Amino acid sequence: MAETTQPGTGAKPTADPFNRQESLTADTFLRGLWQENPVFVMLLGMCPTLAVTNSAINALGMGLATTFVLLGSGALVSLLRHLIPKQVRIASYIVIIATFVTVVDYAIHAISLELYASLGAFIQLIVVNCIILGRAEAYASKQRLLPTLVNGLGMGLGFTLALLSLGSVREILGSGSLFGYPLFGEDFQPWLVMVLPPGGFFVLGAWLLLFAWLKQRRERRPLASAGATSHG
């Protein structure tokens, strides 16, 4: 959304504010990581965020698969952006996205049977992840190849980062390990709820709370720094 609100420096003076070209800046990449993080800020892609983050490995696999699809579909959409007629653009995007999802599905299956089994249907469901369609519609279809790739990479890594932050917390509490390495030894008491679906909601809520609180604090600080208590 920010490209519609921020006056870009390299914008061509066109009548339609949605159709301006963006010049490549560091912000193109960083936006997806933090300012417009798909999970923590835009709250998109909730289905995989909640469903497959019960371990760090699953979260990483899902995040990278989504990043790959974002990059591939973004590149193709961007290259074909002048060819695709407006009336059939959504259909075209879906076909393109589905193509890359199928490719990544085969790839994960070939790389690791275990990861494939634990991600299950959620790999195929990347097709309907609104982050990807949203990027294709709002960004790739209007921008040149390079900014699209950089922006897609930022978004994908932002998504991966968010999934990882959920997945690690859930794995540490739910199984007492991180990336499969046990952290607490034999006697650890797993918090079962954390590896079950409700755990996804709890941890996501906790992260959102933390970020909202940090943001609020940053905004309040110039006004009154008295309320800043140290907080472990």
**Which of 38/157 has CB closer to other proteins?**
38
Task: Say how far apart CA 92 and CA 192 lie, in whole Å.
Answer: 43
Closest CA to 77 of 64, 91, 67, 62: 91
Which among 26-34, 145-153, 162-170, 182-190 is the span making contact with other proteins, rule CB under 8 A?
182-190
Please report, as residue ranges, which positions from 137 to 156 form the binding site for other proteins (by CB under 8 A).
138
Asked if 59 and 203 touch (Cβ cutoff 8 Å), the reply is: no
Q: Which of 2, 43, 90, 91 binds other proteins (CB under 8 A)?
A: 91
- Count of residues that interact with other proteins, criterion CB under 8 A: 49
**Which of 26/231 has CB closer to other proteins?**
231
**Which of 58/157 has CB closer to other proteins?**
58
Write the Ramachandran bin of 120: left for phi over 0, alpha for psi from -120 to 50, otherwise beta.
Answer: left
Query: What x/- string results for residues 18 through 57 when contact with other proteins is judged by CB under 8 A?
Result: x---------------------------------------
Asked if 152 and 69 touch (Cβ cutoff 8 Å), the reply is: no
Bridge partners of 181?
A: 178
Provide the token pair at 114. Answer: 């275990």
Asked if 167 and 92 touch (Cβ cutoff 8 Å), the reply is: no
Query: What x/- string results for residues 97 through 116 when contact with other proteins is judged by CB under 8 A?
Result: -xxx-xx--xx-xx--x---
Burial class of residue 38 in the structure, from the number of CB atoms within 10 Å of its CB (0-12 exposed, 13-18 middle, 19+ buried): buried
Binding site for other proteins (CB under 8 A): 1, 4, 15-16, 18, 76, 80, 83-88, 91-92, 95-96, 98-100, 102-103, 106-107, 109-110, 113, 117, 138, 174, 176, 184, 187-196, 198, 202, 209, 213, 227, 229, 231
